[in-house]
Amino acid sequence: MKFRGGYDIFLSGRPDGITEIPPEPPMLYIPLRSGRFEFSELCVNEGEPVRGGDVLAKDPENFSVPLLAPRAGVVRLKKAHRHIVLEDISKTDFAYSEQGGRTHIADRIGEAGIKRYKLLELGAWQFFSDACTGSLPDPMGTPQAVIVSTVSLEPFVSRGDVQFRERLLDFSRGLEHLQSLLEYQPMYLVMPDINSEFAEEVRRHIRGWAWAKLIEIPMKYPFDNPAILAGNLGLRAGGDSIWFVRTDGVLAVDCALTLSKPCLDRIISIGGPAVESPVHIKVMTGYPVEAIRSRCTSDVSYRIINGGVFTGETVDSETLGLDSECTGITVLAEHTEREFLGFMHPGPDRSSYAGCFLSSLRAKFSEAFSTAMRGEPRPCVSCNFCEEVCPAGIMPYLLHKYLYGGLIEQVEQAGVDLCVECGLCSFVCPSKLDLRREFIEAKALIAKEKEEIRREQLEKERHRLAEEARRKAAKEAEY
């Protein structure tokens, strides 16, 4: 596989391979919204007791994917806005039962269909995404292929090797279950080194599986991006979906299909320069954000980000707990005062893609990232750095100039839809332009305009058919 662009990023505050299990909190604050899901269909009432694994709400726009209770407790719907609060929480054993007796329809949807329903009901399906669109794939659809990535290259998200530490058997069993959902579609296992000891162990477990292929990728961000992987594997959007799942998703599949249990806990990272001791922790959905704040450095202001430093979103004051898709928490120092000559970023402790600062004389070092790293925006200088690092092969600086001139049609023709939103162009830009945000907004605007055109065409067609029906009725009335 040949990759273009990418960048080897060194930032301080990355968590090590240790996983902590913090004490159980007295209360859980479960958000009704996450990155892809809007759990608008409530399935519980105020004051109702629930068990761990019970369905709290569903997303009707995404195949009714459920929001499961991570612990037993008492439901409080009015205690926090857009959250389900669980009080008096405790661990309980979960017992799965076939809802509606689906075993009797195995002849119609097959055993694989039964398993897919089970993955959906037990919350494992939410770990899947379409490699090209990022959306939740149809659980009953037929994919082109499945991409399983054991690599997470964005700074401050949970590492794949930490996810399956001492769980290689579970991981391999999850791969077998995943294969049982397919017919003859290939499965690609993405690893950083296919000759490593870990890869050899995986190879021993999957020996004889002709449908599984080990794929090695360079350890450069964002070569683990699903769309980049799909493109380099020769898979194309527009036809059947391409399933993408990471290590935690394979383990969730194993938990659902081997033990008939939902995966109620997940390993996330807490990292960033403003964290006193970066670490991985095993927590549940709804784990209080306030408990994470206690791990932050107390002598500086900081910003909490849900996700990695490049693609994550700022956690606002209304968000009280971790959502069901959280993979990591990034904490950056929040600068409240202007830096002297901050726009130049001088000094031996600050790196630059251009290599024009004093730090270029040093060997590779980990830089302390902060919210002030962007400096002040200035006009584009056409340095071409953004094109050099872009993994999608587009020209971000050209798209920026088109957007600046309001030339939205040229932006679409120049391939803004190919942008994978990795944020590298913004990171290396010496003019400190937020190119990633510009392209996200441009794609949303183009999609909105296309939807308006589609609706207008449907309305015209409806009027045309109505007019034809009226004329036909009038003609028949004459006779």
Rounding to the nearest 10 degrees, give the CA dihedral for residues 310, 315, 316, 320: 170
Owner of token pair 């898709």: 325
- The pLDDT tens digits of the residues spanning 168-195 come to 889 989 998 998 898 888 999 999 888 8
What H or E segment, with its residue span, contains residue 31? strand 27-31
Report strand pairing: 187-191 vs 145-149: parallel
Please count the other Cβ atoms lying within 10 Å of the Cβ belonging to residue 363: 4
List the single range of 205-209, 252-256, 318-322, 420-424 with lowest mean pLDDT.
205-209
307 DSSP 8-state letter: S
Q: What is the CA radius of gyration of the chain?
A: 25
Q: How far apart are CA 233 and CA 128, in angstroms?
A: 18
pTM of the model: 0.89
**What pLDDT is stored for residue 341 in this prediction?**
62
Over residues 101-128, the pLDDT tens digits come to: 455 454 556 788 889 999 999 999 999 9
Q: Which whole number is the average pLDDT over 220-241?
A: 91
Set out the domains of the chain in order of their start, with CATH numbers.
Answer: 114-263 (3.40.50), 377-479 (1.10.1060.10)
pLDDT at 343 over 60: no
Half-sphere exposure of 302 (CA within 13 A, CB side): 23
CB 11 within 8 A of CB 276: no
Residue 244 contacts residue 129 (beta carbons within 8 Å): yes
pLDDT value at residue 348 = 62
Question: Using CA atoms in the order 426, 223, 123, 182, what is the torsion angle rounded to 10 degrees?
Answer: 140
Distance CA 32, CA 42 (A): 9
pLDDT exceeds 90 at position 326: yes
Q: What is the mean pLDDT of residues 245-259?
A: 95
- Cis-peptide, bond into residue 273, ω within 30° of zero: no
pLDDT class for 441, splitting at 50, 70, 90? Answer: very high
